[in-house]
Amino acid sequence: MSSRSLDAVSEQAIDWMVALNASKPDAALLQRLNHWLQQDATHQQAWDRLQQRLGRPRAALQALEQHAPGAARQALLTPTHSRREVLGALAGAGLFGGALWAGWRSDAGQNWLADLHTGNGERRGFTLADGSRLNLNSASAVNLYFDASQRLLVLRRGEMLIQVARDPQRPLRVRTAQGQVQALGTRFLVSQEAEATRVVVLEHSVRASLADGHWQDLQQGQAALLYSDRIERLGGEQQQRGAWLHGRLEVLDEPLQVVIDALRPYHRGYLRLAPAVRNLRVQGVFPLDDPQQALAALAETLPISIAHYGPWLTLIGAKGQV
């Protein structure tokens, strides 16, 4: 969205977004939205632009619309260049109450306001102030704290890969929900997962540590999961996890659940995986930028069935049971 007045199609996309987040969407609403998207190519383009701008901050929009009807639409129509400006505009308009502020402080709201972020299906590279090169996978968010005494990145969501510029006076640190990774001059991957932080060292070494002071050094080719109470070394090959940088998902004997989780940030709509097939073992290379092709390839090699209900719902289950 630009700072100029929005065109009619973009405003229609905003109306649809507000309607989806105002309450739990039913089948009739999803069918009407799908019909609107298919009416004209410009509708889908406007919808995709809006999704990219938002990074899908559903909790924040829901809080806005439920506690101040019309506020979400006003926020999306506001001609701003940054998410922090949107937040400031809303605060200035007196739209923040206690419950509403809680919605903005949720993970989704904070990800929307992160210093660096990517939307669903988007990968981006950044050159940081110190010369380090940071790449973010789809649906990821990072806050930066760089000053004369420190280089700190806080990974709020998703996955990052960084090539660290050397600075012995300011070791670069990456902080996550479970702990911290520190390096002097190296290349490594950090992923914020549901219950743990995954660290994969691609070059040189890093030091992984927890809040209780426990730490371990990881060398090139090594990987670990950081839990709140322990660091668990990982065996087997892990370096292929950085293939997303080139738009690929490379899988070496992983559960289907892991594969679907990796595809979710690139897939439009909701992916539901039946418990009965979550642990099927998968091996292969799949295109991240074409999740439908990846799902079709999985259906060809595994005993699963995949059913699509418009662009919003995909069900994956045992063959013949979906």
Reported as a single tens digit per residue, the pLDDT across 146-192 is 999 999 999 999 999 999 999 989 999 999 999 999 997 799 999 99
| Helix spans in 23-127 (H) | 27-39, 41-54, 58-67, 71-77, 83-92, 98-104, 107-112
Phi, psi (deg, nearest 5) at residue 107: -55, -45
Within 13 Å and on the Cβ side, how many CA atoms surround 83? Answer: 22
The CA-atom distances, in angstroms, between 77 and each of 17, 57, 59, 86, 90 are 12, 15, 18, 10, 12
pLDDT of residue 22: 56
Calpha distance 260→264 (Å, rounded): 6
The low-confidence residues of the chain, meaning pLDDT below 50, are 1-5, 55-68, 78-107
Helix ranges restricted to H, 131-265: 256-263
The CA distance from 108 to 119, in Å, is 12
State the Cα–Cα distance between residues 227 and 210, nearest whole angstrom.
Answer: 8
Measured from the Cβ of residue 88, the count of other Cβ atoms closer than 10 Å reads 13
Q: How far apart are CA 45 and CA 186, in angstroms?
A: 39
pLDDT (0 to 100) of residue 208: 96
307 DSSP 8-state letter: E
CA 99 from chain centre, in angstroms, equals 25
Say how far apart CA 250 and CA 286 lie, in whole Å: 7
Report which DSSP code applies to 165: P
Residue 228's contacts (CB-CB under 8 Å, 6 or more residues apart) are 178, 179, 210, 211
3-state secondary structure at position 95: coil
- Residue 145: its pLDDT value, please? 93
Structural domains in the chain?
8-113 (no CATH), 124-239 (2.60.120.1440), 247-318 (3.55.50.30)
What is the pTM (predicted TM-score) of this model? 0.67
Question: What is the reported pLDDT for 34?
Answer: 75
Q: In sequence order, which ranges of 122-205 are alpha helices (DSSP H)?
A: none
